[in-house]
Structure 1
Amino acid sequence: MVQQIARDTITPFSQKLNHPLSKNQITVLQINLGKRCNLACNHCHVEASPKRTEELTPEICDQLIELIHKFPQIKIVDLTGGAPEMNYGFKPLVEAARLTRKAVIVRSNLTIYFESGFEELPEYFAQHQLRVVASLPCYLEDNVDKMRGKGVYNDSIRAIQWLNQLGYGINPNLILDFVYNPQLPLTESFSLTPNQAKLEEDYKIFLREHFDIEFNQLFTITNLPVGRSKLHLQRTKLYSPYLKFLETNFNPGTVEHLMCLNELSIDYLGNVYDCDFNQMENLPAQSRTGEKLTVTNLLETGNLDLIDEIRSASYCYGCTAGCGSSCGGALV
């Protein structure tokens, strides 16, 4: 028993670092528009589904539009969910960001294009030159459908071909990236994400040969023990061993590239977090005086850079294990 406790004891992430995790100037605004989604993927850290109703309110949407207009230091507006396209405020936020010449990322599940009322999305994306970061956790049908639901793979392929016809993955102004997630573990035979460059090559060869598909980059992302991934690990009694595995593979070289350093994550209620994972674990960002921050605070002070130190937790080992992991894939 003592050996088991010792084996599973996790060093607090803040103690692993030789220095506080300090915020840089904010250049990325990541907005989680809500938990509404047409899918309910088994690894979703947001725990989104068709049954969820939480979404952005008109008041918070207006504040975010004001924020986008007010701060030229924001270079990227990153829209996520749920399926961001299904939630209130998606198009107004897109158009505010493009009007102010900011790049816009939409984190799309691809299958949303075949839902009633959303069929015009690919053309809308192309019109506004949105960067599409699409979930495609494997290039093989069986693996995708196990993670995301029966038929999702075939719908995803159809959606990608549609995007390709519009120039995505081909026109340099229409960027199409894919996200790889590993299968959730069933035993303690854990593994890190594969080499990103090699796996991207494998994706490109397979998808080109079988479906005549083109895309730009592949991002390999580690499953952090948050949301449904956390629930799965707890059910299978793998939560502590998985955290220990991530800690054992901690790579200090990833820390200076972490996505939380220069971004603010905003939820549908207007609360501010250091990253999307902290948002899902209800670990709000704090000002220098220990105050929880909201979009209202940012507007009233006229300052996005109110955070000195990033709040961390044990799941941060998921972003710093091996080659690292972020919304933009491997870090080193």
Structure 2
Amino acid sequence: MVETKNIQKNPVVTPFEKKLGLPLTKQEITVLQVNLGKRCNLACTHCHVEAGPKRTEELSPEVCEQLIEIIRRFPQIKTVDLTGGAPEMNYGFKPLVEAARLEGKEVIIRSNLTIYFEPGFEEIPEYCAEHRLRIVASLPCYLQDNVDKMRGAGVYDASIRAIQWLNRLGYGADPNLILDLVYNPTIPSSPEKFSLPPAQGKLEQDYKLFLQEHFGISFNGLFTITNLPIGRTKFHLEHKQILKPYLSFLEESFNSDTVERLMCRNELSIDYLGNVYDCDFNQMERLPARTAAGEVVTVAKLLEAGTLDLIEEIGTASYCYGCTAGSGSSCGGALV
């Protein structure tokens, strides 16, 4: 936690690139993360994508075919990471899954779990098990009240039933059926409540003990993710007039040991239009990836160039402090 007396209303936040001192550079690309669109059956208060039931944006058939070609052409891709919205609801979900699995890639599905109970999506758990998909599921707390406040009334109960369903299929027990859960802190409403996620290992044990004892649930790992000031979280912080203090808090918690393992180093993030970004957060803030010559990168340009390694330097912004604060934060949880 941070003390109120140390918080200024409009603190000066050091530009992230200045904090690093050196440019943040790309490594060889091994992860292809695709945001299939903004369609979702939920409208969570912390969603940086601002997804929801009224959103209609989703992947086009043309971009889907380009992505399948990238998956087939570049063996350096080890993981295809599908997100949204609810990825299961958006066009291209099954074609990309099947193309990636055919090429022997690991496929991650970032699921809200409640989608399994929507009409037309009841077969998704069995489909995931059949194709041995790794499921990374949002459960921002193991207590019902906190989850329902962040994600909507009834979401906790539906999530528990969904995890039990996955457990019956072998998830959490079969080494080929990996189920990970994701923790997010509560979005702060005042500087007194600024906090980073607790130690990932200890919180994982707390989750496992509680969920096993109360619901007979098993899962593999827990990912702790810091709330980045993007999307609905950013709107909330602006409304409370604490955006700059929150950024300052994140900067004060900067940990240089996290930089080497940042997810943007070896990942390409693709939006539903086929634009390329260094990470999902840059995608939401519309900060495109660029070549050394300053050209905006697209999926079509990658195919034309015949390489995934067009990007030398990663675009950064003040919200990057969220990934480098404390133990670090990424789509795979803590970094150190």
Give TM class, smaller chain.
Answer: over 0.9
Structure 2 alignment gaps of length 5 or more: 1-5
TM-score, normalised to structure 2, is 0.97
Distance 2:96 2:224 in 1: 27
Secondary structure of the 1:78 match is strand
Aligned position for 1:33? 36
Aligned position for 1:21: 24
Q: Secondary structure at the match of 1:8?
A: coil
Structure 2 counterpart of 1:125:
128
Residue 259 (structure 2) aligns with: 255
1:49 and 2:68 matched: no
Equivalent residue, structure 1, for 2:196: 192
**d(CA) in 1 for partners of 2:228 and 2:7?**
22
SS in structure 1 at match of 2:219: coil
SS in 2 for 1:31: strand
The DSSP-based 3-state class of the residue aligned with 2:81 is strand
- Aligned-partner Cα distance in 2 for 1:215–1:29: 24
Aligned to 1:206: 210
Aligned to 1:269, the other structure's residue is in SS state coil
The answer to whether 1:220 aligns with 2:224 is yes
Q: Does residue 308 in structure 1 map to residue 312 in structure 2? A: yes
Aligned length: 330
**How many Å apart are 1:132 and its aligned residue?**
0.2
Work out whether 1:283 is the aligned partner of 2:287.
Answer: yes
Corresponding position of 1:143: 146
State the distance in 2 between where 1:43 and 1:120 align.
28
Q: CA RMSD in A?
A: 1.1
Write out per-residue CA displacement over residues 229-284 of structure 1, whole angstroms, 9 at most, x where no aligned residue: 00000000110000000000000000000000000000000000000000000000
In 2: Cα distance, 1:212 partner to 1:230 partner: 36
Encode CA deviations 1:115-171: one digit per residue, 9 max, x unaligned. Answer: 000000000000000000000000000000000000000000000000000000000
The residue type equivalent to 1:307 in the other structure is: I
Query: d(CA) in 1 for partners of 2:67 and 2:119?
Result: 27
User: 1:97, 1:192 → 2: CA distance?
Assistant: 35
- Quote the Cα distance in structure 2 between the aligned partners of 1:40 and 1:22: 34
Indicate yes or no: 2:158 matched with 1:155.
yes
Counterparts of 1:4 and 1:167 in 2: how far apart (Å)?
48
Q: CA deviation at 1:6?
A: 8.9
Distance in 2, matches of 1:222 and 1:106, equals 20
Aligned counterpart in structure 2 of residue 81 of structure 1, from 72, 79, 84: 84
Extract unaligned runs of 5+ from structure 1: none
Task: Name the TM-score, length of structure 1 as normaliser.
Answer: 0.98
- 1:18 CA displacement: 2.6
Instruction: Specify the SS of the correspondent of 1:122.
Output: helix
Which residue in 1 is equivalent to 2:3? Answer: none
Q: Are 1:235 and 2:249 counterparts?
A: no
CA distance in 2, matches of 1:239, 1:7: 9
Identity within the alignment, %: 73
Give the 3-state SS of the residue equivalent to 1:209 in structure 2: helix
* Runs of 4+ with deviation above 3 angstroms: 3-7
State the alpha-carbon separation in 2 of the partners of residues 141 and 270 from structure 1: 38
**2:273 counterpart of 1:269:** yes
Partner residue in 2 for 1:331: 335
Residues 113 and 4 (structure 1), Cα distance of their counterparts in 2 relative to 1, 3 Å cut: closer
